[in-house]
A and B are shown apart, each in its own frame.
Chain A
């Protein structure tokens, strides 16, 4: 009950925030701009994949920064005090925040990627089956990267003493770790989609578990 309530609340808070409005409109717009600026991506890299890389990189970084800054700020001004003295589990607070941002960023990314698929279809004229396979891989890689980036944002938010430290850690830590799910695709591994999902889910799970343990021990 309290988890779903907090999740809905956080969703309401995030989807209307200025950063999310930028992402809702900005990511699809960025995809179109990318196409206009680099119309020829070569035969080896479909445009969908290129836009997925860009979207997940920017979206992931923004999600990570947004989560880290939000948690650091709420910790600093003692917003959590009023939640933690109520009969709820501490992990509900950070996981609901993670899910809310992840849902928002996923929708924004999928919109951007659909645009990429459409552009790919009209520009390259390849069969829909090839495009869909490429698109699926791109979406999986993109969502895995953003899940890891978001989870890293949660950990950074919990451990960072200030917004400045948090942002530095997001740029140099969260952003780097989120590229791990790309390894199966880059290495042309068989069943790369499955490996990407496993890698993404495992790293996200580990990061969130660390965040929960640290948050449970935190003194306010």
Chain B
């Protein structure tokens, strides 16, 4: 598992704890620090020593199967449920001790977003804006801008009860952004949205991240996580299986290099190369396609060079050589099946 150490630097008069990276040259602040978070529901251990660190401006994709503990983690972070043990810090503020401070800087979208049915969209957003401490002019400006962005302007004065499920999900997203939070905590934000809306939401999240907003989101849609997350955490049965960037996760999994070779001429003599040193396995996966497994990822460049020479000398002409890189679905499956380092 990829871990980064933090040290407690100071405890100011505000009770805010400052975290600093032990290693690395960039002095990026930790926005979220979860340390050995554990949650027990009677006999069920929902979270077991979960530790996560997310830096300011990062988009953290939290994935795992149903019942893994993603929503439990999120609800502990926003103080909707109490942890059994462990520590939670948001922007240096300990939770739940300084929840009022934390609640000022977070935007939250629950998995099941619901509003009081008698409210209109405008009433709901205005109330949430005011409760978050935003001034009326700013609320008005944000409502117009965000409803327009998510194509909800037409329903501004409609009652919530008249909205579709997808609209309510988007409205939930709007209320989370209304006060320009420093940290967005989103539980399955893209589920229930049509492809266009999913694209819009992902673009908004990317733009916000560029402006310094930190995003912590859970999702089942792995392609969406791969699209926007700068860091990914995989949770299974309450345990963090791995955390890292997409590249780091792949790197950990790739214990053997694989390449796919497309041939323009296949003489069939490539079978002679099976005994070549450094090649673990070579097989034909299509009439013009070979899949080559190398013994290790070290020296793969040198082995490929020998492989090319070997193929040409055996009357096999090469059209292309493509390294086989796992996508997030494959990475996810391999980690859940115990393929990755834990």
Interface 1/0 per residue, A55-90 and B, CB below 8 Å: 000000000000000000010011101111111100
Q: Are A87 and B133 in contact (CB under 8 A)?
A: yes
What's the count of A-B pairs with C-beta under 8 Å?
68
Interface segment out of the listed B100-108, B217-225, B320-328: B100-108
B115 CB to nearest A CB, Å: 7
Q: A85-B108, A86-B103, A87-B104 known; A77 and B114 CB under 8 Å?
A: yes
* A2 / chain B contacts, CB cutoff of 8 Å: 130-131
Q: A13-B119, A82-B115 known; A219 and B82 CB under 8 Å?
A: yes
Name which residue of chain A comes closest to B175, CB basis. A82
* A79 / chain B contacts, CB cutoff of 8 Å: 114-116
A91 CB to nearest B CB, Å: 14
**8 A Cβ contacts from A206-220 to B:** 219-220
* B286 proximal to A (CB < 8 A): no
Q: Are A5 and B118 in contact (CB under 8 A)?
A: no
Q: Are B133 and A5 in contact (CB under 8 A)?
A: no
* A9 proximal to B (CB < 8 A): yes
Q: Are A82 and B108 in contact (CB under 8 A)?
A: yes
* B289 proximal to A (CB < 8 A): no
**8 A Cβ contacts from A133-171 to B:** none
Q: Are A82 and B128 in contact (CB under 8 A)?
A: yes
Name which residue of chain A comes closest to B132, CB basis. A86
* B110 / chain A contacts, CB cutoff of 8 Å: 78, 81-82
* B127 / chain A contacts, CB cutoff of 8 Å: 5-6, 9
Q: Are A85 and B103 in contact (CB under 8 A)?
A: yes
* B78 proximal to A (CB < 8 A): yes
How many angstroms between the C-alpha atoms of A57 and B214 in the bound complex? 54
* A interface list, Cβ under 8 A from B: 1-2, 5-6, 9, 12-13, 16-17, 74, 77-79, 81-88, 219-220
Q: 3 nearest interchain CB pairs?
A: A77-B114, A219-B81, A220-B80
